[in-house]
Amino acid sequence: MKPVVFTDLDGTLLHPENYSFRDAEPALKILREKKIPVVISSSKTRKEIELYRRELSIADPFVSENGGGIFIPEGYFPFRVGGGSVDHYRVIVLGRPHGEVREVLRDIARELGVDIRGFTDMSPKEVAELTGLTEKEAILARERDFVEPFVCTGDSRILNKVLREIEKRGLNWTRGRFYHIMGDHDKGRAVRILADHYRRLYGKILTIGLGDSLNDEPMLREVDMAVCVAKRDGSYEPFRVEGIIRADGIGPAGWNNAIISIIERLQGQETHGG
């Protein structure tokens, strides 16, 4: 049985304050040695994820913008993969075009008289100040294909009105570090598609998912083993996922501990013929 790891980035594999993955390096080394696929499934854009894939030495498929797009390196699977071809990827598009969802958000802001600002309404410097990214990284965060992260000035009552308007207009929203407006897609749907490809490649697989925020719940519902890592204050997102594992540690430290524990458990089962 081949393990396949699906992981969020922000606050999970990356530390919620400094975006470092250093604490996860021991587990990442084990996964590389065992040739276990690591599929990044993030709210980040394609270009942001590509940057981290290079830093992490990961060459597996990835999922961008909360499931909006699946990017599979050409030739990765030894069979034909659906979708179009962009650069060196086969791309399966699940999301609505970014321009459409961005315009809906602007319409809602005008009609409600609410101050809503999406990432693409901000300068790279403003995005950097809001997120803690460098300005270079903020430029990549603004180059969006499917989803618009946004901030809303006002209290929870105003925010709830905005979220209801998004739903009335046939779109969806989710929450990571920020709220996001998006089409009819999520990380879970993307995971189902990729898991089917991995089953075709390996036969029996064990899917492992790791996340920390509401936008990870669809992904965690789809995997065999779901892991919730702690937030920066040590709390855990109250996921409604049966049998979920609470990792011991914040962000990449919890990620590391959970992956090592799971791999050791699987090795023990193999040793004892389980």
pLDDT in tens, 40-65: 999 999 999 999 999 999 999 999 99
Mean pLDDT per 10-residue interval, the chain, length 274 residues: 97 95 98 98 97 96 98 97 93 96 96 95 96 94 97 92 96 92 96 98 98 96 98 95 97 98 90 61
Q: Which of 173, 130, 143 is nearest to 50 (CA)?
A: 143
Nearest-10 crossing angle of helices 25-33, 251-271: 40
DSSP codes joined into one string, 231-243: -TTS-------TT
DSSP codes joined into one string, 64-91: EGGGTEEEEETTSSSS---SEEETTEEE
Domains and CATH numbers, the chain: 2-94+186-271 (3.40.50.1000), 98-182 (3.30.980.20)
Ramachandran angles phi, psi of 15, nearest 5°: -65, 140
Per-residue pLDDT reduced to its tens digit, 86-95: 999 999 999 9
The catalytic site residues sit at 8
